[in-house]
Chain A
């Protein structure tokens, strides 16, 4: 079942120029209940009607009843969220999404662009737990935007960094890694559409699973706002059939 609950914020910390890390205490035992790729819809408990719509965030980590989120402040909704203090409550609707990442591949590459990296960390943990190999590739425009680097390096051994301007890690795009890797089976990706598009159009033999972001009003399948084009030219809901799709399912 999908739950709508008010939960206390444990931390809400600025970890980069524009990026915040938020930890929530759901008070429930969530172990095994959140599938990698699932997300939540969040807003403050302020009764104001503006902003109206909740924001969709990937569930980046789960430990017991604690949920970790990462978000960039991009507009009114995320700005207001960034002002919430520890101890105050937020409203979350979760878990959402039925299309989730597969956990059964042995050799995995996780490619995250910017804040999209937050959509892959729970996956990386679950894959590692199952004894599968995980290579993490994290790309951003510039060094100051690599706000999840420490979080990633605490969780994973094999982490590659790319920046477009070369200010940290290798100069280039996260997708550049593909020419260097051998023996991998599957790519799991989350990030801006141009990144996913270039991955989509590359001619390589990997299986690809992509998690999408889209303007979303409800998160549970009824507003039909978040759709993405399917291979048969109809529309699929990112929130319901997704947010993770295999490359063969969609057109981007």
Chain B
């Protein structure tokens, strides 16, 4: 199931999503993570961020809300303390990059240019849980465009952009993002939501709102991957993420147009799910004598035309 994107060979199209897998180190206590197609790191910012006050998570119907606030050690500590532990793992890492300004995004990427294990950057323009940066870029089309252009002008590695679903028209954001130079799109980040504790008569999360993830958002994610594929699918690869817990969910994303998928919240409630999804996709393809994985990418679009 090897795939090639941006001239990089990935063992398979199943990756773990940012913020649901740390930097891969914790998972070494569970299984051999070199079986994964790639690991997308927890968001990395220029300076360390302590994250939001608890309460940070709460379960909701078929999903959960989170408001972690991008807790991370900052790029310098990442390179010093974490990178040495992952640099010999036999799979690719993609660094999820977060900044409060354009310059910060560029600086974090530049700091990682020499780190060979990091094969690409995923710009996080869609975290709904921080006050500055992130989603501000993801919800303002001209800010997004300018940021993507600036980063692309400075860095060598491929730049993919994780888009927010909390916008009016994902097609327009997809188109402008690609025209600004993005090498690929990642859809979707969490949907903004909230939960109220009726006995305390107050919001559960310390930040009031949080990001909804889990099986509840699968149909929204599939729809957005579908629309992005219609808009820019002939120009750049689309990476599907959102609500993938089983191989069937991944297959929906792929048939909607995803060249690879990311498993997120499922890492929490079913930590071995990425491996099960790899097996499930592989079996599905073999049973149908499909010779290449790429043949099923966007397959549902072609069927619709017939």
Contacts and interface: CB of A to CB of B under 8 A. Distances in A.
Interface residues of A, number: 30
A225 B21 CA distance: 13
Contacts of A131: none
Interface stretch (B59-67, B231-239, B254-262): B59-67
Interface string A46-69: 000111111000000000000000
Interface stretch (B25-33, B169-177, B279-287): B25-33
B59 A52 contact: yes
B61 A223 contact: no
Nearest to A96: B29
Interface string A206-237: 00000000111110111111111000011100
B50 A225 contact: no
Contacts of B6: none
B269 interface: yes
Contacts of A199: none
A235 B268 contact: no
A223 B68 CA distance: 8
Contact of B51 (A4, A222, A235): A235
Interface string B195-225: 0000000000000000000111000000000
B3 interface: no
With most chain B CB atoms within 10 A of its CB, the pick from A50, A53, A215, A223 is A223
B268 A49 contact: no
A93 interface: yes
A217 B57 contact: yes
A228 to B, nearest CB: 7
Contacts of A2: 29-30, 271
Classify chain B's interface size.
35 or more
Interface string B26-56: 1101100000000000100000001100111
A233 B271 CA distance: 30
A171 interface: no
Contacts of B64: 52-53, 217
Contacts of A52: 59, 62-64, 214-215, 265, 269
Interface in A26-52: 43, 49-52
With most chain A CB atoms within 10 A of its CB, the pick from B55, B71, B268 is B268
Nearest to A224: B68
B61 A50 contact: yes
A44 B20 CA distance: 22
B56 A222 contact: no
Interface string B260-293: 0000010111111000000000000000000000
Contact of B29 (A50, A217, A220, A233): A220
Nearest to A230: B50
A214 to B, nearest CB: 7
A240 interface: yes
A53 B268 contact: yes
A53 B245 CA distance: 12
A217 B268 contact: yes
B34 to A, nearest CB: 16
A204 B63 CA distance: 44
Contacts of B272: 4
B56 A224 contact: yes
Given A220-B30, A224-B68, A93 B271 contact: yes
B58 interface: yes
Contacts of B30: 1-2, 4, 220
